[in-house]
Structure 1
């Protein structure tokens, strides 16, 4: 695992060094650079494969092809043997070296042969070509910006694994107003755009060729091309195929020359990975879980389930029971993300990564299981909504009017009540709109303008929503749950979960691997019909039935919990003063994004316990903390809206 960066159309060593300095946490073990006419590559390396010999950048025998890579190629040994048979000479056992020789044989199409998580750059000196590539599902990040050339020369390109590093390569930059609105709605900035004007991300499964300043984009993989081409087989045969594919993926992800472990939450996804690990690892398996010490936070702990699994499979289990100082922790989490990001699961991910790094360099995680096999309530909700919509309008109106008034919205209301209320109130909406209601975070009950005048005039409230609507319509004949899962696989998975997993692990120099995001497993999941995935009208019904006998029964039947934390209470207690300071009237007016009265309404309602505005307040706090950090650390920063 590494951090990579580079310049195309420029080879300024001072600029490259500044960019590399912002990537040290991704690769604390060594640094490498390569400069040529009109280009420069840099890499910070975390030693995982061939620790002694796997230096980067790597080159071919003649020095005409160079490469840097962040990630792992799990089938590199097979590819290496094939290339040796064709006469290629290797200087190391490193997986990155496979890239240059495979590129010599197959050109940019070499990416089709790779299995793994990766973002890489190749310099082909003879063709004057730079190739940037991101893996199929977007596990590894890659940011880029195109800039005007100097003195009439071809345009330049700057790229990096992380946004703060890339910003060091820009002469100046401004915030993109639309990204603020999208962030406050989704809690993340959706790709391929970023918070910064003119800075983009390569999309999952996308490559970029740069030849003499010309940019040519190429989508080599679309994750859901198989959706709708489902194969109906006997259930027993499907279960056998699933378990075989899962075992194969887990075994591939165990490739490592350094200590390796597993984040063990007690949920179905990490439990199934552990079961597969135990089948092929006879010795010690290190597992890691965290919990919260405060008596009032015990309902957020998954330690009991994780402990059960650790005992069942005989792991070397580490539990960290924490009472974190969230006032000092929150700025570290925001800095580690490097961009506005308000999924609060980043906090426990940061903490468990910190604990794991004391013992291992690589950890496996269950990220992706929900998106592939149907783990979110919205999937069943949309299936039910399609059936509810077939009822006569009058009947739906009567049900909604008689049931909604009895369902609480308050901070103490049960989650299931909120879901039922949302379901009934949204029964008249198109399914795509209902999906958006499940996945966006602007609260009901505020009827005045949400944005301040400057931002409101610069944005379209509908930007992020419009892309989701378009994606939802790509498979009009598919089951609503499949359509929702398709949207999540192209938005929420890469832009939220995988982004979070990468940053919160790499800030501790820990490599995180995600076996459920293997493209072979995704192709299998797409072959299952919705009725099979939700066997018995249960979330992950197929997956649960397939794992019977492999896992303790209590784990198989347990409800999904997610990576939960007591943030609502923290905002009323531990973070109360911090939230008031960060979101003061003066600060909100100076920033110029949202209506100060709206922010004070959120604070008053949440602190009083009348309403739960955890997500909305946390997003605003993250945004303000990020502003303070980036304004102090990057000299080229300037505001696009409001005042600095």
Structure 2
């Protein structure tokens, strides 16, 4: 795993500022502490930080083809590089290393922009072809690896693995994007291709960007999409379960290639346990496993991780931390470079810290919920959609809308009595209903939170448009549709961003076998009822794993990395919350209704309402603002 950064003059061949290029590269030192490299020529500068995993002595970057006319800087792993190298060698290409990076330059020579279709893995790279005067940027299908870019007024294109590199250029505008602010307070992250800054874009997952000198910047090109369409081949459940295991084994096998110590995260949940079980069957030596436990039993899964560790005789390492591990709040703003409100980033950071003490590469279970329909919200979305399909929108909207308006909000009541949100959801369309189920602040709360100035700048824009954009080509079945929407938004924007930044902060490479695109494409052909069967999510996945895992690992309630925000804000973070959310940094942005913010803080700390998701989002926005103000370069 590595970091890359670069500067490209889209207009001419003006000299590249060598000091800026070096500083951009140094800002990514944490992503690749083993080595650094640069290449400069008129109008182009490429830089790279390396975390050596394969071909430790021969994989230095930037890496060139035979005549030095093509050069690449690359972050990620191409798992099928050996097969591709054999094919490319037969076509006449000459390899000088044994690393996967060299496959990219020769694949470009052989197949051009379609080279990405051949790659199986996680990647973000920038490739320069001098003869064609072309810069080619690419990001993997699911968005495991990040790539950001910005076109400046002077015609220079900046690009990097993290935005902190781009922000080192004092000529980069730092105006905040009001649409991104709206999306952040809805989703808790800013979905691709937007960033918090108007001037910076994220290359979306499954896209490439081809820039030719002297031409205007084009739109990114999509080269991959997932098609949810049940197969015409009539498989019985047991045959499908057997095939799933074989595909999972193969996905894990190709991710075990490494010349450095390798292990796995193990929470004791279905996904990480499945990965460890398959690794144990493929490894001659005991698997290294790492877990985080909490000293509060409400959040502690360590006993379930130990079940798997004992069954497969792993070298198991457990660190116990307090649920009150909130000392990372300031550091998160530095890691993410923009507001990011998933509080599980803190325990994720800690488990990466633990793993890096013992291994350099870790396999994870990320992506299992999206691939095999594991989120509880899928079940509720399916139930609500059944009602929506029975009653036309012209009748359902006013009837359920009125009932939801009248019904009292009862956060304090048992779940069965909290009907207000369900009634309101049934009044909406399917997409609007799903958006409301995942939004951390609903439409009315965001509208009340924002200042009149921000609402004017939004001009009626609402964050649900992100889902509506993808819904145009989403499958019709409610479960498959929800999976598709999450694969396009939540997975790259939240889950994979969280893991990338937390792992790279410790120079740890994380590999996600459940997001192997052939496995994902096959899973998308399964009947939806094999994914979510009644109340059981991951139905086929769990059935396939019954010979390999205990029922306590497969069929217990999902826990996840919970963080006790509500209690924090009434206890140890009480004063910090008031200082940040009600302080001058937030007030000076003129983005928020400060009277409303004060009311929310008072209501929450008095125990009247639970506004913890909204307050955490505001706290992280304030941390971002403080980080931005303290790291803005002078001209």
TM-score range, shorter chain: over 0.9
Deviations 1:508-549 (A, max 9, x none): 111111111111111011101211211344111121112111
Q: Distance in 2 between matches of 1:448 and 1:113?
A: 46
* Corresponding position of 1:204: 205
When residues 597 and 227 of structure 1 are mapped into structure 2, their CA distance, relative to the original with a 3 A threshold, is farther
* Corresponding position of 2:611: 613
Counterpart secondary structure, 1:427: helix
Counterpart secondary structure, 1:426: helix
Alignment of 1:128-527 (within 5 A): 128-149=133-154, 155-169=155-169, 171-173=171-173, 174-214=175-215, 215-227=217-229, 231-293=233-295, 297-323=296-322, 326-390=325-389, 408-410=410-412, 416-417=415-416, 421-442=420-441, 449-460=448-459, 462-475=461-474, 478-527=476-525
* Corresponding position of 2:552: 554
| TM-score normalized with structure 1 length | 0.92
* Corresponding position of 1:53: 58
Q: Distance in 2 between matches of 1:359 and 1:195?
A: 36
Cα shift at 1:28? 0.9
Deviations 1:179-212 (A, max 9, x none): 1121111111111011111211111111111111
Cα shift at 1:90? 2.2
Cα shift at 1:424? 3.5
Contact 1:340 1:626 in 2 (8 A): yes
Cα shift at 1:494? 0.6
* Corresponding position of 2:36: 31
* Corresponding position of 1:641: none
Contact 1:3 1:45 in 2 (8 A): yes
Q: Distance in 2 between matches of 1:91 and 1:515?
A: 29
* Corresponding position of 2:8: 8
Cα shift at 1:454? 2.2
Q: Distance in 1 between matches of 2:493 and 2:446?
A: 30
Q: Distance in 2 between matches of 1:228 and 1:281?
A: 34
Cα shift at 1:269? 0.6
Contact 1:353 1:510 in 2 (8 A): yes
When residues 141 and 456 of structure 1 are mapped into structure 2, their CA distance, relative to the original with a 3 A threshold, is same
Task: Count the aligned residue pairs.
Answer: 625
1:599 to 584, 597, 616: 597
1:110 to 85, 107, 115: 115
Counterpart secondary structure, 1:144: strand
When residues 417 and 626 of structure 1 are mapped into structure 2, their CA distance, relative to the original with a 3 A threshold, is farther
Moved more, 383-392 or 112-121: 383-392
Counterpart secondary structure, 1:69: strand
Cα shift at 1:219? 3.1
Cα shift at 1:450? 2.1
Cα shift at 1:398? 9.4
Deviations 1:48-71 (A, max 9, x none): 111122110111111111111000
Counterpart secondary structure, 1:19: helix
Deviations 1:318-375 (A, max 9, x none): 1111127645321112211222100111111111111111111111111111011111
Q: Distance in 1 between matches of 2:52 and 2:511?
A: 15
Q: Distance in 1 between matches of 2:105 and 2:209?
A: 17
When residues 418 and 284 of structure 1 are mapped into structure 2, their CA distance, relative to the original with a 3 A threshold, is farther
Moved more, 172-181 or 274-283: 172-181
Contact 2:388 2:430 in 1 (8 A): no
Moved more, 550-559 or 447-456: 447-456
Contact 2:324 2:568 in 1 (8 A): no
Contact 2:228 2:480 in 1 (8 A): no
| Runs of at least 5 residues in structure 2 that lack an aligned partner in the other structure | none
Q: Distance in 1 between matches of 2:79 and 2:594?
A: 51
Contact 2:37 2:49 in 1 (8 A): yes
Q: Distance in 2 between matches of 1:251 and 1:400?
A: 55
When residues 475 and 82 of structure 1 are mapped into structure 2, their CA distance, relative to the original with a 3 A threshold, is closer
2:92 to 84, 87, 94: 87
| Runs of at least 5 residues in structure 1 that lack an aligned partner in the other structure | 150-154, 638-644
Counterpart secondary structure, 1:449: helix
Counterpart secondary structure, 2:292: strand
When residues 403 and 127 of structure 1 are mapped into structure 2, their CA distance, relative to the original with a 3 A threshold, is closer
Contact 1:6 1:41 in 2 (8 A): yes
* Corresponding position of 1:642: none
Cα shift at 1:567? 2.4
Cα shift at 1:213? 4.1
Contact 1:232 1:528 in 2 (8 A): no
| TM-score normalized with structure 2 length | 0.93
Cα shift at 1:399? 13
Counterpart secondary structure, 2:298: helix
When residues 470 and 327 of structure 1 are mapped into structure 2, their CA distance, relative to the original with a 3 A threshold, is closer
Q: Distance in 1 between matches of 2:85 and 2:446?
A: 62
Cα shift at 1:234? 1.6
Contact 1:178 1:460 in 2 (8 A): no
Q: Distance in 1 between matches of 2:471 and 2:407?
A: 31
Contact 1:231 1:527 in 2 (8 A): no
Deviations 1:137-158 (A, max 9, x none): 1110000111233xxxxx3211
Cα shift at 1:388? 2.2
Cα shift at 1:401? 6.0
* Corresponding position of 1:532: 530
1:541 to 539, 542, 545: 539
Q: Distance in 2 between matches of 1:95 and 1:361?
A: 17
Contact 2:152 2:172 in 1 (8 A): no
When residues 288 and 420 of structure 1 are mapped into structure 2, their CA distance, relative to the original with a 3 A threshold, is farther
